[in-house]
């Protein structure tokens, strides 16, 4: 199976969506088309699957393995694939890690195990990640949640994890706190063995990137991967004028995608892809529910404002 040797998570990494049929089974043909569409974007470093954006919490182990197989078949020869690990226990997390390695993934995105507040116990956090690292030699991206959720890792715990688990090569930073975000960028990327900070603060992506992140990993890349890649390159070359122009285009989408309730963010992205003609339907698995017509209209207006959908096409789709 394809695997991109010595891949270190960095740069622009969209997290793709997972289309479903009306009967809630995976729509493999639409998923393949979606993968090809996103992967054709210039300037990407990888694609993420089996994460929040693919509604991983509602997917069985076998479905997650199938998602990886399809992704490898469609785009694995072109781009590294980051496979999410969503599990409540360390044994299941290790099982998924082993499956991902066998299936040709190039990196792992590890979500915090929901029942355990690992921030209260550095020993538990380290043991969890060591168990995953023992099952696979793939580079690990630590998903850093806000500390207020009880599932984020304090600075000292993060440093111990990075020191004791050498395969930790990046964090997906969703800390939601600007001073903490900047501290993590400066501290982790300044380590003797640097750990990249990949922002997932897509509601304020421009501000986050300016602080010096070495990449971004975002579900909204399923819709606007091209704008994200252009924004990242503009910030990297310190062209803030161009970056501001791009941010003005991204802002309308961020405003609607990341409105409350946040649980609907990827639901909204599916509706956006339907409006753009890139998906045939926006079916989500329960407990997510279909968006209201009023909210879909707001998404349509945001796509027009961002220059992604013409006014005529918007009227035709209404």
Q: Which tens digits make up the pLDDT trace of 36-60?
A: 999 999 999 999 999 999 999 999 9
Query: What sign has the CA pseudo-torsion 285, 286, 287, 293?
Result: positive
- Statement: residue 2 has pLDDT above 80: no
Beta carbons of 46 and 79 less than 8 angstroms apart: yes
pLDDT for residue 318 is more than 60: no
| Sheet containing 81-85: order of strands | 11-14, 215-218, 196-199, 168-173, 140-144, 107-110, 81-85, 47-49
What is the rounded CA–CA span in Å between residue 244 and residue 73?
37
Domain ranges of the chain: 11-238
Considering the chain, what is the average pLDDT of its residues?
95
Express the helix, strand and coil content of the chain in percent, nearest 5 each: 50, 10, 35
3-state secondary structure of 203: helix
On whether the CB atoms of residues 129 and 162 are closer than 8 A, the answer is no
**Is residue 300 within 8 Å of 36, Cβ to Cβ?**
no
With a CB cutoff of 8 Å and minimum separation 6, the contacts of 129 are: 110, 140, 142, 161, 165, 168
* CA atoms within 13 A of residue 164's CA, in its CB half-sphere: 17
In which element (H, E) is residue 187 found? helix 178-188
CATH tag for 11-238 (out of 3.40.30.10, 3.30.420.40, 3.20.20.70, 2.60.120.560): 3.20.20.70
Residue 5: pLDDT over 90:
no
Residue 114 pLDDT level (bands cut at 50, 70, 90): confident
Q: Could you report the per-residue pLDDT of 238-249, keeping only the tens digit for each? A: 999 999 999 999
Element (H, E) at 39: helix 28-39
| CA distances, 309 to each of 17, 167, 229, 265, 304 (Å) | 20, 42, 19, 19, 5
pLDDT tens-digit series, residues 134-148: 999 999 999 999 998
Longest CA–CA span in the chain (Å) reads 58
């Amino acid at each position: 199976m394809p695997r991109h040797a010595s891949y270190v998570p960095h740069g622009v990494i969209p997290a793709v969506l997972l289309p479903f049929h009306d009967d809630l089974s995976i729509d493999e043909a639409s998923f393949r088309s979606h993968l090809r569409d996103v992967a054709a974007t210039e300037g990407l470093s990888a694609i993420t699957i089996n994460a929040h954006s693919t509604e991983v919490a509602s997917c069985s182990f076998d479905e997650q393995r199938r998602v990886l197989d399809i992704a490898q078949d469609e785009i694995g020869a072109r781009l590294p694939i980051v496979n999410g690990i969503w599990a409540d226990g360390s044994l299941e997390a290790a099982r998924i890690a082993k499956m991902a390695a066998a299936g040709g993934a190039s990196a792992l995105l590890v979500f915090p195990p929901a029942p355990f507040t690992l921030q209260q116990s550095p020993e538990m956090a380290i043991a969890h990640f060591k168990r995953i690292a023992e099952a696979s030699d793939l580079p690990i991206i630590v998903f850093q949640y806000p500390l207020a959720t009880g599932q984020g890792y304090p600075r000292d715990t993060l440093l111990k994890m990075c020191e004791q688990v050498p395969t930790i090569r990046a964090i997906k930073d969703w800390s939601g706190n600007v001073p903490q975000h900047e501290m993590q960028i400066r501290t982790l990327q300044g380590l003797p063995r640097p750990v990249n900070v990949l922002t997932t603060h897509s509601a304020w992506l421009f501000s986050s990137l300016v602080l010096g992140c070495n990449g971004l990993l975002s579900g909204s890349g399923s819709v606007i991967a091209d704008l994200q890649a252009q924004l990242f390159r503009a910030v990297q070359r310190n062209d803030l004028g161009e970056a501001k122009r791009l941010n003005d285009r991204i802002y309308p989408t961020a405003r609607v995608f990341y409105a409350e309730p946040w649980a609907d963010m990827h639901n909204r992205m599916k509706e956006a892809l339907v409006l753009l003609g890139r998906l045939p339907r926006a079916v989500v698995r329960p407990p997510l529910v279909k968006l209201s017509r009023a909210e879909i209209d707001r998404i349509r207006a945001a796509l027009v404002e961002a220059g992604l959908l013409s006014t005529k096409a918007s009227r035709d789709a209404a």
